[in-house]
Amino acid sequence: MITTKGNSKENIIRFLLIFASVISIITTIGILFSIFFQAIEFFQLKSFWYFLFGTEWSPGQENSKFGALPIFAGTFMITVIALLVAIPVGVGSAIYMSEYSSRLRRNILKPILEILAGIPTVVYGFFAALTIAPAIVSISGWFGLTAAYNSALACGIVMGVMIIPIIASLSDDVLRAVPNSQRNASLALGMTHSETIRHIIVPSAMPGIISAGLLGLSKAIGETMIVVMAAGLRPNLSWNPLEDMTTVTVRIVDSLVGDHAFDSPDTMSAFALGLVLFVVTLVLNMISLSQIRKFKAKYKINTL
Amino acid sequence: MKSSGNNTLNPHRNSDIKITASGLNLWYGDNHALQDINMDIHKNKITALIGPSGCGKSTYLRCINRMNDLIDNTRITGEIVIDSKNIYDADIDVVAVRKRIGMVFQQPNPFPKSIYDNISYAPLKHRLIKKGIESDELVESSLISAGLWEEVKDKLKSPGTSLSGGQQQRLCIARAIAVKPDVILMDEPTSALDPISTEKIESLMMDLKKDYTIVIVTHNMQQAHRTADYAAYFHLGNMVEYNQTETLFNSPAEALTESYISGRFG
Amino acid sequence: MNNQKNHNPFYDPSLSSRHRSARLFKAFTRGSILITLAFLCFFIFDMVRTAYPAMWQSYVKVEVSYNEKSSKISQKAIDKKFRKIVSRAWLRSIPKLLKQQPELMGTTANQWVLADDQVDQYMKGHHHNLKQKQVSVIETLKTNAQIELRWNNIFLSQGDSKLPENAGVYSSLIGSIFTLFVTLAIAFPLGVMTAIHLEEFARDNMLTRIIEVNINNLAAIPSILFGLLGLAVFINLFGLPRSSPLVGGLTLALMTLPIIIVSARAALRSVPDSIRQAGYGLGLTKIQIIQGNVLPIAFPGILTGTIIGLAQAMGETAPLIIIGMIAFIPDSPNSITDAATVLPAQIFTWAGMPERAYVEKTAAGIMVILLILFFLNAAAIYLRKKYEIKW
């Protein structure tokens, strides 16, 4: 017999469970609001449109200007380099693991990729600054080019390596989820294995691969330590990846670790940049999720 | 038509024999899944492989276009001779074998492409045709052969997966014949379909045998009886009996065959 | 006959180019994975190579005179020509030593003391800023066997220092432990409770869907934004102490939450319904069933996810920089409200130091954190394997 006392105890527990679940919502709202209100305050002092499209970023001066376009451009450049490294290598690795390697070999390769994914980004940052950046300077030298010691290229390459496991692991899952009947159908028509992969398997898995790529993109945009340690501080609107550039995350860190007053525009610019970062990564994540949902619906898969 | 007799390989490889299996053994790991299969398959005839689940009939079918190569840990001995060439010879290109021997599977498996692309994909890659008029013609003729043209001619650009199950299976048949194979292997092609679609596929098979040698695996004994010219009964990896369909069904030589046909197990 | 033997009806010359492109494609995918593996190997080799010298530290044998003068100006304790050779950190400790052991006063001792970082770099064959005079002093010491590289026991037992030869990871390790403790204490109960709610109780309504989408998004928000949250809410709004493991732990807890929730949900889902049905059959309430039957079975899975979440939090740096956990803090914290630093932040700080001697310290710090992460992940994998139940 269930007593009323037992019931009220159950109710308290259930209330606690719901309360715990709501924390995640509170966190998101908390992040949004903590960024949003500071950003609004910033935009009351400085022009919103100049922030988005202005080309001069000069904090800490009389008549400081906050045009973030060079910062966005630097983020874009480093991110594109990262994706140029990570997408071919990541998808190629995924195809190798899911289509060509034996089960045994795959069971070894996947944990190795997980090691790469588990390396803290501060470590990648040190590696970029200590080894990759000087290497790029000397390699550029052989070709008669000058590269900065904090070049966008060095950051981009290391960031690319950082997101390889994300793309490879998710793509591998998706490729393996493509039903075997598709493989058999193509092979039975006299297609080679690689033709089957390129024309049938990869297109079938494309929503999932796109989703993986977007997730990698979102990680690259939000990545902080690699760029803080290996990229420049100078907003630089340039197409040359050998020059130093700065990113949104670098500027956020720089304006918050300095000795500015909390309500100075210098500090609050960090929140304006944070708002942009929040919106962009949120949108990317939403698209990524909808892509993977599309893939799941197509093949009625629940395990991804 | 002369009977090929019980379990025996026809010694004269006369012109109406398309495929000859001799001494064919297959192991999945330690499991001896096919045991010493000897069998002649006649050209432009429908040959049905029947038997209970796990008897090896599908395994044997997949030996004919070497689809078993895709399964790890498989070992094959003996030979399958097609057009006087053993397809398990070292100088054989598996891709070329599969190009010549089409296959239709149990579950309709159209590619996630348009109806048009489902059919033109492989012929284009094989360079049998060029893009444009040649390709249009091949798509049309293949769909006509598969009896699907009237139903889909206005929606060739819609995805193959949007068709009904029976239509999808006929699309898969059209896709297979577009490559212009000599042989079509069918692995229980109607088991996932409704009776009306099944009937359509069966009458399609009767039409197709003019041009192709057809080997079909089926669970459905009526289907084997209705469509096949020859039938082989498989049991636990052995081919127990092989004969003209009428003979096999009406006066089976082996007790095992008889008990299966009369429905005592399956 | 011979003719027939050579006859191959399956010979198709058009296939050779297709097979060639197939081989190229396979080579490309194999190349991709090899590049990844090569990078990992090179990275580990590079780190080990850079970190290795930090295992040793130079010591010199000099005459030390403990007297009134040296208790006031500690440099006077040793001969003038050795003053640039020995560590300033050791010199500074002389007055304290004399206070602790007054019986030393007035004695002289010929003893081994810690060498300066430049001397250490010279001994290791690295770049150094020593003057020619000092180099010749070292060479003399060398020939007299009065200078040697010894096992570096400072690195794991001392905190941060502005003098590289005296810098270690001890205080930042303690800071990391304090911070992770807070993270665990917050994220574990919240995560498990959320998972129980979503798996066992929640109906498919608006709130549930919002929570689920939210958890998904939370996992994708860049870590630095959690730092902004920590700064704006925990420090500025709630007034919690800046740089403290409390704020750091809270911030990391919110980041770890989605990982714990997702793995706990998977663990709960893997418990077969028959267990729950059996409980109902015995007349137990839902909560009793979850407490007594479901949670114990799901626990290893939950624990595995928690360890993986903590490993990720252990390496997180960006949000902790924002909330000020990169200040120079030589002493380890005594409570979660003291100012502290964490291991990855220590690595970050050292990586930015101009002295060459910090490079090897940074790499050594990296080796320490990689080893810790390796053991955490190994523990998670071991747990998963050990308690993996096939239903």
The band of B177, judged by pLDDT with boundaries at 50, 70 and 90, is very high
Check if B15 contacts C (Cβ < 8 Å).
no
> Can you list the domains of chain A with their CATH numbers?
74-299 (1.10.3720.10)
Query: Which of A10, A20, A127 lies at the smallest CB-CB distance from C285?
Result: A10
The band of C307, judged by pLDDT with boundaries at 50, 70 and 90, is very high
As given in the structure block, the two tokens for residue A193 are 């294995």
Check if B81 contacts C (Cβ < 8 Å).
no
Looking at beta carbons, which pairs linking B228-232 to residues 24 or more positions away fall under 8 Å? B228/B46, B228/B47, B228/B48, B229/B42, B229/B45, B229/B46, B229/B47, B230/B4, B230/B41, B230/B42, B230/B45, B230/B46, B230/B47, B230/B48, B231/B47, B231/B48, B231/B49, B231/B50, B232/B39, B232/B47, B232/B48, B232/B49, B232/B50, B232/B57
Q: How many CB pairs under 8 A join A and B?
A: 63
Q: Interface partners of B (3+ CB pairs, < 8 Å)?
A: A, C
The band of A2, judged by pLDDT with boundaries at 50, 70 and 90, is very low
pLDDT of A1? 42
Mean pLDDT of the A166-181 span:
93
Contact present, B34 and B25 (Cβ < 8 Å): yes
The band of C6, judged by pLDDT with boundaries at 50, 70 and 90, is low
Q: Which of A249-263, B40-54, B169-183, C339-353 has the lowest mean pLDDT?
A: A249-263
Contacts of C3 in chain B (CB under 8 A): none
The band of C256, judged by pLDDT with boundaries at 50, 70 and 90, is very high
Instruction: With a cut of 80, say whether residue B9 has pLDDT above it.
Output: no
Check if A122 contacts C (Cβ < 8 Å).
yes
Contact present, C167 and C361 (Cβ < 8 Å): yes
Q: Output the average pLDDT for chain C.
A: 89
Is B93–C9 a contact, with Cβ atoms under 8 angstroms apart? Answer: no
Query: For residue B251, what is the DSSP state?
Result: S
Percent of chain B whose pLDDT exceeds 70: 93
Per-residue pLDDT reduced to its tens digit, C131-160: 888 888 888 888 888 888 989 888 988 888
Name the architecture of domain B17-261.
3-Layer(aba) Sandwich (3.40)
Query: Which of A182, A187, A199 lies at the smallest CB-CB distance from B70?
Result: A187
Per-residue pLDDT reduced to its tens digit, A82-124: 999 999 999 999 999 999 998 889 889 988 888 888 899 999 9
Provide the greatest CA pair distance for chain C.
Answer: 112
The band of B12, judged by pLDDT with boundaries at 50, 70 and 90, is very low
Per-residue pLDDT reduced to its tens digit, C266-276: 999 988 888 88
Q: How many CB pairs under 8 A join B and C?
A: 35
Dump the DSSP string for chain A. Answer: ---HHHHHHHHHHHHHHHHHHHHHHHHHHHHHHHHHHHHHHHHHHS-HHHHHH---EETTSTT-EE--HHHHHHHHHHHHHHHHHHHHHHHHHHHIIIIIS-HHHHHHHHHHHHHHHHS-HHHHHHHIIIIIHHHHHHHHHHTT----TTBHHHHHHHHHHHHHHHHHHHHHHHHHHS-HHHHHHHHHTT--HHHIIIIIIHHHHHHHHHHHHHHHHHHHHH--HHHHHHS-SS----S-TTSB---HHHHHHHHHHSS--TTSHHHHHHHHHHHHHHHHHHHHHHHHHHHHHHHHHHHT----
Give residues with Cβ within 8 angstroms of C387, minimum separation 6: C300, C301
pLDDT of A170? 93
User: Would you kindly state where each structural domain of chain C is located, as residue ranges?
Assistant: 58-152, 170-386
Query: Which of C4, C7, C12 lies at the smallest CB-CB distance from B93?
Result: C12
pLDDT of A253? 92
pLDDT of C46? 94
Mean pLDDT of the A210-228 span:
94
Contacts of A9 in chain C (CB under 8 A): 287
Is A184–B112 a contact, with Cβ atoms under 8 angstroms apart? Answer: no
CA distance B81 to chain C (A): 11
- Give Cα separations from B174 to B106, B116, B155 (angstroms): 15, 11, 16
Q: Interface partners of C (3+ CB pairs, < 8 Å)?
A: A, B
Instruction: With a cut of 70, say whether residue C41 has pLDDT above it.
Output: yes
Handedness of CA B124, B130, B136, B139 (dihedral sign): negative
pLDDT of B13? 46
Check if C373 contacts A (Cβ < 8 Å).
yes
Residues of chain A with a CB closer than 8 angstroms to some CB in chain B:
102-103, 179, 181-192, 195, 199-200, 203-204, 298
The band of A9, judged by pLDDT with boundaries at 50, 70 and 90, is confident
CB proximity under 8 Å: B 171-210 to A? 172, 175-176, 179
CA distance C17 to chain A (A): 11
Percent of chain A whose pLDDT exceeds 70: 95
CA distance C366 to chain A (A): 7
pLDDT of A301? 60
Handedness of CA C203, C207, C210, C214 (dihedral sign): negative
Is B93–C18 a contact, with Cβ atoms under 8 angstroms apart? Answer: no
Name the architecture of domain C170-386.
Orthogonal Bundle (1.10)
Is B67–A199 a contact, with Cβ atoms under 8 angstroms apart? Answer: no
Contacts of B84 in chain C (CB under 8 A): 4, 7, 9
CA distance C154 to chain A (A): 22
Contacts of C14 in chain B (CB under 8 A): 126-127
Instruction: With a cut of 70, say whether residue C321 has pLDDT above it.
Output: yes
Check if B43 contacts C (Cβ < 8 Å).
no
Is C29–A93 a contact, with Cβ atoms under 8 angstroms apart? Answer: yes
Contacts of C19 in chain B (CB under 8 A): 93, 95
Mutant choice from A122, A285, A290 vs C, greatest count of C C-beta within 10 A: A122
Return the H-helix or E-strand segment holding C331: none
Q: Which residue of A has its CA nearest to B94?
A: A190
ipTM: 0.90
Per-residue pLDDT reduced to its tens digit, A27-56: 888 888 889 988 998 999 888 999 999 888
Mean pLDDT of the A171-183 span:
92
User: Would you kindly state where each structural domain of chain B is located, as residue ranges?
Assistant: 17-261
Contacts of B122 in chain C (CB under 8 A): none
Contacts of B126 in chain C (CB under 8 A): 14
pLDDT of C330? 82
Mutant choice from A189, A196, A296, A299 vs B, greatest count of B C-beta within 10 A: A189
Mean pLDDT of the A236-257 span:
91
Instruction: State the residue for tokens 């050579």.
Output: C6
CA distance B79 to chain A (A): 20
Is A199–B105 a contact, with Cβ atoms under 8 angstroms apart? Answer: no
Phi and psi torsions of C92, nearest 5°: -65, -20
Query: Which of A102, A188, A204 lies at the smallest CB-CB distance from B103?
Result: A188
CA distance C12 to chain B (A): 7
Instruction: With a cut of 70, say whether residue C172 has pLDDT above it.
Output: yes
Is B65–A102 a contact, with Cβ atoms under 8 angstroms apart? Answer: no
Mutant choice from C2, C10, C15, C21 vs B, greatest count of B C-beta within 10 A: C10
Query: Which of C4, C7, C15 lies at the smallest CB-CB distance from B93?
Result: C15
Q: Interface partners of A (3+ CB pairs, < 8 Å)?
A: B, C
Per-residue pLDDT reduced to its tens digit, B241-263: 999 999 999 989 998 888 888 87
Contacts of C8 in chain B (CB under 8 A): 85, 89, 91-92
pLDDT of A304? 53
Check if A13 contacts C (Cβ < 8 Å).
yes
Contacts of A195 in chain B (CB under 8 A): 125
The band of A210, judged by pLDDT with boundaries at 50, 70 and 90, is very high
Contacts of A191 in chain B (CB under 8 A): 95, 122, 125
Is C8–B127 a contact, with Cβ atoms under 8 angstroms apart? Answer: no
Check if A206 contacts C (Cβ < 8 Å).
no
The band of C390, judged by pLDDT with boundaries at 50, 70 and 90, is low
Per-residue pLDDT reduced to its tens digit, B117-148: 999 999 999 999 999 999 999 999 999 989 89
Instruction: State the residue for tokens 């066992």.
Output: C200
pLDDT of A77? 95
Instruction: With a cut of 80, say whether residue A303 has pLDDT above it.
Output: no
Per-residue pLDDT reduced to its tens digit, C50-73: 999 999 899 998 888 888 887 788
Check if A227 contacts C (Cβ < 8 Å).
no
Strands across the sheet containing B85-86: B31-42, B17-28, B74-82, B85-86
Instruction: With a cut of 50, say whether residue C1 has pLDDT above it.
Output: no
Count of alpha carbons within 13 Å of B118, Cβ hemisphere only? Answer: 34
Mean pLDDT of the A224-229 span:
94
Return the H-helix or E-strand segment holding B79: strand B74-82
Dump the DSSP string for B45-78. Answer: SEEEEE-STTSSHHHHHHHHTTGGGGSTTEEEEE
Instruction: With a cut of 60, say whether residue C367 has pLDDT above it.
Output: yes
Contact present, C29 and A88 (Cβ < 8 Å): no
Check if A299 contacts C (Cβ < 8 Å).
no
Contacts of C362 in chain A (CB under 8 A): 126
Check if B13 contacts C (Cβ < 8 Å).
no
Per-residue pLDDT reduced to its tens digit, B49-89: 999 988 899 999 999 999 988 888 899 999 999 988 899 99
Check if A20 contacts C (Cβ < 8 Å).
yes
